[in-house]
Amino acid sequence: EVTVNYRYGLPVVTLTLPTRGERCQFTIKPMVVTVGAFLQDVQREDKGIEKAEVFARDGSKVSDATLMEVLLMNDFKLVINSKTYSVSSPKKGTLSSEHATEMEDIKSLVHRLFVAIHIEDHQVRKERELLQKLEYLKEQLLPLEQMKDRIADSADAKTSRLLWVGLALMSTQGGALAWLTWWVYSWDIMEPVTYFITYGSAMAFYAYFVLTKQDYVYPHAKDRQFLHYFYRKSKSQRFNVQQYNKLKDDLAEAEESLRRLRQPLQLRLPIQQINDKD
């Protein structure tokens, strides 16, 4: 009761509608129509059809996203409501190699035209999704950014105070050594003292390298101390640094995707070198 014939190069599925009892023909565009779309057309034609499915010969269900071109390559079973129909796919004539190449070229051209027609709609839809994602990420980041700025300001202030305290201690040490050298003792007495102070400072710098695996460079030491204060303050304020970094990474990724999407498509044409003949 279900037959498949080719007319004008297109497959025509003929079946009897269960409710109306009429024979109905469905012309299929195999390269465009999917199994789900075909079943929807059948159910739309007969409102009494409650369930329509397609199964392969081995009994496995065929996905609705499968193209009819793939389905019609082999026999299959069509289940309408509770009745099963065995459908035999007719074998198409063997195409010559030249005709087959032309058909492949036509399929490729149709695919490129389809993509060119629908790419603008896809870009608009994708851009809308990215804009919504950006808005959501910015809303999530706003309170975290405010808290992060307050913690960073506090850590920067503590780091600056520590640097000024270090400068004050060094100035005090220099003044004390000068006073002991010129007013209290002589250079002969203070020279060993200054030597051991210098050697102790070198030991302290070496200990810093052993602990941190970094040279004692003032900008790096300042940044390290800033991060120490920042993470300690973040823990006390319950600021989730991992969540903040993840949101920032997601925001940067979304902005980069939006930037690439908005870039105009560039058509790259091959450069042909033309040799002038005398």
CATH number at residue 46: 3.10.20
Q: Are 83 and 136 found together in one domain?
A: no
Residue bearing tokens 């129909």? 85
End-to-end CA distance of the chain: 74
Tell whether 125 and 74 lie within a shared domain.
no
Q: Specify whether 142 is located in the same domain as 208.
A: yes
- Note if the pTM is more than 0.75: no
Helical (H) or strand (E) element with 257: helix 241-262
Torsion of Cα atoms, 251 then 257 then 263 then 266, to 10°? 160
Q: Do strands 23-27 and 52-56 pair parallel, antiparallel, or not at all (unpaired)? A: unpaired
Domain stop point among 87, 102, 137? 87
111 in a structural domain: no
For residues 253 and 130, state if they share a domain.
yes
Answer with the one of 87, 110, 135 that is the final residue of a domain: 87
Residue 20 has pLDDT above 70, yes or no: yes
Q: Which 8-state DSSP code applies to residue 3?
A: E
CA atoms of 46 and 36, how far apart (whole Å): 16
Total residue count of the chain as it appears in this document: 278
Express each pLDDT in 27-69 by its tens digit.
888 777 888 888 888 888 888 888 888 888 888 888 888 888 8
Question: What pLDDT score does 208 carry?
Answer: 78
Q: Which residues constitute the domain of residue 82?
A: 2-87
User: Domain check: are 74 and 124 in the same one?
Assistant: no
pLDDT, residue 266, reads: 44
Token pair for 2: 């279900």
Structure tokens at 142: 């706003």
pLDDT in tens, 83-137: 888 888 776 554 445 555 665 666 666 666 665 565 566 677 777 888 888 888 8
Given the structure tokens 């065929």, which residue do they identify?
62
CA distance 98 to 104: 10
Distance CA 121, CA 98 (A): 36
Q: What is the mean pLDDT of the chain?
A: 78
Distance CA 147, CA 163 (A): 25
277 domain residue, yes or no: no
In a shared domain, residues 149 and 42: no
